Amino acid sequence: MMEVWCLMGLAITNRDFHRRIFAAAQDGDDFEEIRAFRRILRVEMRLNLSRWEIMVLHRSITERNIDINTLPQKINSADGDPDIIPLRDAWGGPIPRFPEEFQLCAVIGLAAMDVNFRRDLINQSDPDPNVGEARLELFLESPPGESPVFNLRREQRIDLNDFLQTQNISELLENVHETRWVQPLRYPCNGGYSETDAIYQFFPQPALIRLFDKNDIMKPVLKGKTLPP
């Protein structure tokens, strides 16, 4: 999943990448249709992404969800993305490049899809960049418990600290989390990392298939060709 975290963080901070990956995602909604999208990720970037990871990323780039009771909203353009653009405006460091800034982008991407990691990461930042940089180094390189390890350069940690000190940064990251991944207070994000106190802990794919297959209205959705009224 670190590749998906990285790609989300890269889309948030790098306008040109976001535009390119968004354009390539417009060929369709099925895995077999989005060959240009897959080629960028698997051939050009040499990322070993599963079919599931490809489709999860495609959905997060092309649509947003307001709540669980309405159909997703298609995003009209990369430059008009209402959730990613405010985060990009908050990023004041150099434009991240791939693969040089892989780990930095992964930190930002994970912060946009894991409630606990986001909270703990923001809490390490500080108005004093030297204090924040040192605290982020300790948190990312020697994390507590099961938190993932990230190795960033000092200048990257300083830029990250400035980003995390942005007013309302928690809300901006949470907006991406809620509209692209899950409603985090009810459903955990399977691409996240930490424990959760969400109401519904996990919904495995076989259970979803069985539920759809037993419902005459929802069964066609499994084939990806129709949507319920």
Confidence of residue 10 (pLDDT cuts 50, 70, 90): very high
Q: Is the pLDDT of residue 221 over 90?
A: no
Which residues are within 8 A (CB) of 46 and not within 5 positions of it... i.e. 6 or more apart? none
Residue 227 maps to a domain: no
Confidence of residue 182 (pLDDT cuts 50, 70, 90): low
Q: Is the pLDDT of residue 201 over 50?
A: no
Confidence of residue 204 (pLDDT cuts 50, 70, 90): very low
Residue 6 maps to a domain: yes
- Of the candidates 118, 113, 104, the one whose C-alpha atom is nearest the C-alpha of residue 56 is 113
pLDDT, average across residues 158-178:
95
Q: How many Å apart are CA 147 and CA 150, to the nearest integer?
A: 10
Q: Is the pLDDT of residue 205 over 60?
A: no
Residue 217 maps to a domain: no
83-115 pLDDT tens trace = 999 999 999 999 999 999 999 999 999 999 888
Q: What local confidence, expressed as pLDDT, does residue 191 receive?
A: 59
Residue 224 maps to a domain: no
Q: Residue 173: what residue type?
A: L
Residue 94 maps to a domain: yes
Confidence of residue 29 (pLDDT cuts 50, 70, 90): confident
Q: Look at the chain and report how many structural domains it folds into.
A: 1
The residue with greater pLDDT, 6 or 188, is 6
Q: How many Å apart are CA 204 and CA 5, to the nearest integer?
A: 21
Domain that holds residue 84: 2-172
Residue 40 maps to a domain: yes
**C-alpha triplet 13, 108, 91: angle, nearest 5°:** 40
Confidence of residue 47 (pLDDT cuts 50, 70, 90): very high
Residue 91 maps to a domain: yes
Residue 200 maps to a domain: no
- Whole-number mean pLDDT of the chain? 86
pLDDT, average across residues 218-226:
63
- Tokens at 165, concatenated: 């000190």
How far, CA to CA in Å, does 49 sit from each of 7, 8, 134?
11, 13, 33
